[in-house]
Structure 1
Amino acid sequence: MSVDVYLGLSAIDSRRAVPRATKCHVHLAAKPFVVVGYHLPGDPGAPIGLLCGTRRERPSTIVVGEPREAKLRLARLANFAMDLNGYAAQFMQTPTTSRRALHTHRPANGPQLVVANQATAQWLCDVMGRRLRYLRPDGDRPVHPGLPVAGAHLSFFAGQRVPGSSLVLPLTEILAQHWVTGQLPSLDANLASQLAWITDPGAVAEAEDALPAGPVPDPEWETREFSDAIKAYHQLVDAHPTRADQPMTGTIHDALRPSWDACWQALDLLHSLPPADRARDRWTQDVYQWSRHAERVRSGQAYFRKRPKQLQVFRYLTRLERLTADLSREMALDDPLIMAGHVAAGEALSGEVVTLDLSGRRPSLQVRPHLPFPRPVGTDLFWHLPRSTSPSGPAWPIVRLTTIGVTPEGLITLDVTAGAVRRDRHDRLPQPGQQVVFSPFGPRDYHPDTLPAELPWTHAEDDDE
């Protein structure tokens, strides 16, 4: 039985979510930009309303009295664009520098977009970003100059929705990384019920009936309250145009405010966990990516392809594979509860050091395992030490060991093959009586990009098709 299955059964038995992790594996900005919103069903490009901002008590309410009117939508979205651009402007002066320099100086300033779920992230970043970034403030149909800038920022966030990045936080996915509920994974997309499982199991049934956190509204709410708000808008738009949006503003605020509060409650839960050590390194990479985007925006060269080239797709898929593997590795190394899953699966060795022999050509030790370790002789395992404080030393010292046999008493014998073979590094080795976990996760691979500059004709697209 896998650890995830065991945790799910435990949650069902206790009627309460159980922790999947003991640390927070995402970076939490001190001042995130939170967005919840609805769009017309069947038309993602027609937003109904948004609640957004950085102030928990006073969100900005953006409404479109008649979402089917494109001109009116753009006029109202200009208010959202000004809020988003104003937030991003605080971080636009982040200097563009090398990754090495960023790791040395540890910058903490970068924007963070927080949304309720993956569907909202896809709609806001991908769809709305693409809709807005191609608009022009001049020409036959000029728009507010802030709209294409906001579209560029949203498109950047869309491209950074990759494993390990904290630039965009879809909260239902982040909570699922840290807690296991007793409901189906598809139901974890409901932020209200997911929070109820974690904080108030008695309110799960009520939370399941709550309005969705977006981006598609509830059909009953749309038929009942949203339709009445549109009728009120048409009745007021001619006689009292300054008051025409008031009915829709109240309707949208009442519908989205519970989701807004739920987003902040979810952030509070994540803040209650101690931060994972390597989350800071991943945030450094996020800040580096943002600095490059900020430089392109400042120079007026924030361009995005409507359709990526095949070579770009291949490189993007390679990047996703690498980031997925890196995130799995780093979460396990940072979190003993996640590492326990690898121990239970027989991928990592957990046990007590019985003997340490430093007399041979290479140090060797014997470990009494806590659980069966079925891997064959010759398996490489790694002992990760705390972050090095020496400027000249490695950030995370690693000792590599190789299994060489099993004694009749069940002790596993390992030889040290790298990282602590020299006598001046024997202090890195665990001592007899010490509890250890040797993992299958070695140093991160930094393979150069082997893809060609241009695709060969066997892989190129046929222009005639």
Structure 2
Amino acid sequence: MSTLVALARAQAFAAGRAQLIATVRHLHVHDHPFVLIPLAMAGEANAPLAAMVGSAADKPRLLFVAQPRNRDERFAFADALAAELVPYLTSFAGDTEAVAVDRGRDVRHRFLDAPQVWVPNTGGIDFLRLFGRSTRFRRVDGDYPVPPTVPLLGRWLTFLAGASEMPGSALLLNAVQALGMHWATGQSGAEDAHLASLMAWIESGAAAAREAESGPVAGPATDPDFDNRVLAPLIADGDPALPAVLHDLLLPTWQQMWRALALLRRLPPGDRVAGRWDGDRDSYSSFVEHLAEGGGPQPRRDGAVAAAARLQRLENAATRYAVQRAFDDPLVMADHRLTGAAFGGVVTLANPDRVDDTGKRPVLRPRIMVATTETVRVEAGASLTSPARPAQKARVISVAPTTTGWDVLLELSGGMGRKLVADPGTVPLVGEELLLTTLSEAYRPGAAFPDPTETPWTHGGPPAPYEEQQPA
């Protein structure tokens, strides 16, 4: 937890109301999302009990399993869920746009939009991941066949669950995490995982949150008292009242989900949200193409090389997402200013036409002086970036103390055009307020991984050749 978030939590506790910790929305909220609230039976590993699904707030659809221990009923539930979810997911596979790649030397196509699925909490994502794993390998013929929609549903759920692991992705989102990124409450992080309590802190305050804690849970696990007192007798007796009970249990969460979406829509999107959604559209387009070409289901587990490559992609995405959030949001950047990773100041001197001719050819290298009253924890030679000019690098030449703070001399490179005269507006002018940080959106190249066949047998490669020793 950062210093400012801790302060916001203290203020929320004192005021009895959640505090905004973001000035912009850091995720894409679709105009037509799909809400899915899964419910699992306690004591049975990922056994589906019910789900409330739909893409319209006034049209919830309840799916349920009368006997979760019955295999046929489980797959009938999967078939019904596929009938609701898969048409929504594939409805965006229509018109495409051309995207230049390889510096304009080639073109690829992606769909103009992509789906977005919302669940209440991280447990809902885990449920979908496990449910996808249990359905994507099922056979549609032979012994114990399932409807053809079941393995297709499993592939889609596995794709969405995998996308949810990518920082910044918005294909599969959970409400408590999205709200917690933008509001701080006066309760603990564990208590924030209760959607009703979190929503009450934001909408009404602490008193309403205390009342909401005793309300119905958002799944996927049910309340033990509800299981013993209500659910178990209904299932054991095959009571026809079961659907009505489950509907009443899930309806409050359904309503809270749509109110959460409305709350998030009130915040303006960050400047870099659209770019991350473009990446989601790329991912969606690739998966649709994979299915259209008859591609097989995702493997049960990654090989050593594939796992290492995926881990690196996740790490790079996490770093890039943290930087983009800071560049989009002054409140997020304020945390970095407190730690010395960023500082703000005013340009006091500027030499925009300076040319460095000490190398083989002259290059444009303007210099500026920035005066700041903030603590500066960078040394000569460090590379800085300004969110206002992310393509430009500022190398620290010197840091000199003054009576009011520090004077930082910087040499600029990049983002000024290809001539020896800087394009207008590319070099900060005297009097301009400038924010500088060690954070950077610069491209991080991937590591060179070996071919899977060249890894040792301990990591999935071929066994070492056995040489039979000859007797002496």
What TM-score do you get using the length of structure 2 for normalisation?
0.87
Q: Which of residues 172, 176, 198 is equivalent to 1:172? A: 176
Q: Which AA in structure 1 matches 2:449?
A: L
**1:136: which partner in 2?**
139
Residue 331 of structure 1: how far off its partner (Å): 0.6
Q: Which of residues 274, 282, 285 is equivalent to 2:268? A: 274
Counterpart-to-counterpart distance in 2, 1:346 and 1:197: 32
Q: Say whether 1:423 aligns with 2:442.
A: no
CA RMSD of aligned residues (A): 2.5
Q: 1:78-89 alignment to 2 at 5 Å? A: 78-89=79-90
Per-residue CA distance 1:300-352 (angstroms, 9 max, x = gap): 21421112211111111111110000000111111111111111111101122
Q: 1:417-456 alignment to 2 at 5 Å? A: 417-419=412-414, 422-425=420-423, 427-454=425-452, 455-456=454-455
**1:115: which partner in 2?**
119
Q: Say whether 1:375 aligns with 2:378.
A: yes
Q: Could you tell me whether the CA contact under 8 Å between 1:134 and 1:148 is conserved in 2? A: yes
Counterpart-to-counterpart distance in 1, 2:426 and 2:263: 36
Change (3 A) 1:24 1:413: same
Q: Could you tell me whether the CA contact under 8 Å between 1:378 and 1:402 is conserved in 2? A: yes
SS of the equivalent of 2:238 reads: helix
**1:303: which partner in 2?**
297
Counterpart-to-counterpart distance in 2, 1:106 and 1:451: 28
Residue 55 of structure 1: how far off its partner (Å): 1.1
Counterpart-to-counterpart distance in 2, 1:411 and 1:252: 64
Q: Could you tell me whether the CA contact under 8 Å between 1:348 and 1:438 is conserved in 2? A: yes
**1:250: which partner in 2?**
244
Change (3 A) 1:213 1:326: same
Q: Could you tell me whether the CA contact under 8 Å between 1:385 and 1:397 is conserved in 2? A: no
Q: Which AA in structure 1 matches 2:350?
A: L
Q: Could you tell me whether the CA contact under 8 Å between 2:325 and 2:332 is conserved in 1? A: yes
Change (3 A) 1:94 1:309: farther
Deviates more, 1:281-290 or 1:433-442: 433-442
Counterpart-to-counterpart distance in 1, 2:108 and 2:16: 46
Deviates more, 1:58-67 or 1:440-449: 440-449
Counterpart-to-counterpart distance in 1, 2:116 and 2:438: 33
Counterpart-to-counterpart distance in 2, 1:212 and 1:103: 48
**1:226: which partner in 2?**
231
**1:209: which partner in 2?**
214
Residue 212 of structure 1: how far off its partner (Å): 1.5
Residue 378 of structure 1: how far off its partner (Å): 2.7
SS of the equivalent of 2:199 reads: helix
RCO greater where, 1 or 2, for CA within 8 Å and sep 6 or more? 1
Per-residue CA distance 1:384-441 (angstroms, 9 max, x = gap): 337xxxxxxxxx5434242412143333222223126742236212223322211212
**1:389: which partner in 2?**
none
Change (3 A) 1:69 1:107: closer
Q: Could you tell me whether the CA contact under 8 Å between 2:391 and 2:415 is conserved in 1? A: no
Residue 68 of structure 1: how far off its partner (Å): 1.3
Change (3 A) 1:221 1:283: same
Change (3 A) 1:347 1:403: farther
Q: Could you tell me whether the CA contact under 8 Å between 1:384 and 1:399 is conserved in 2? A: no
Q: Gapped runs of 5+ residues in structure 1?
A: 235-243, 387-395
Q: Say whether 1:4 aligns with 2:9.
A: no
Q: Say whether 1:292 aligns with 2:283.
A: no
Deviates more, 1:442-451 or 1:211-220: 442-451
Q: Which AA in structure 1 matches 2:133?
A: R
- Count the aligned residue pairs: 443
Change (3 A) 1:462 1:360: closer
Q: Could you tell me whether the CA contact under 8 Å between 2:97 and 2:110 is conserved in 1? A: no
Counterpart-to-counterpart distance in 2, 1:268 and 1:72: 35
Counterpart-to-counterpart distance in 1, 2:409 and 2:424: 15
Counterpart-to-counterpart distance in 1, 2:397 and 2:89: 52
Deviates more, 1:333-342 or 1:430-439: 430-439
Q: Which AA in structure 1 matches 2:148?
A: P
**2:195: which partner in 1?**
191
Counterpart-to-counterpart distance in 1, 2:97 and 2:421: 42
Q: Could you tell me whether the CA contact under 8 Å between 1:384 and 1:398 is conserved in 2? A: no
**2:24: which partner in 1?**
23
Change (3 A) 1:97 1:139: farther
Residue 358 of structure 1: how far off its partner (Å): 3.6
Q: Which of residues 310, 313, 316 is equivalent to 1:316? A: 310
Residue 289 of structure 1: how far off its partner (Å): 0.8
Per-residue CA distance 1:214-246 (angstroms, 9 max, x = gap): 100011111122124224525xxxxxxxxx4xx
Counterpart-to-counterpart distance in 1, 2:456 and 2:210: 58
Q: Gapped runs of 5+ residues in structure 2?
A: 356-364, 464-472
Counterpart-to-counterpart distance in 2, 1:170 and 1:23: 18
Q: Which AA in structure 2 matches 1:381?
A: L
Q: Could you tell me whether the CA contact under 8 Å between 1:400 and 1:418 is conserved in 2? A: yes
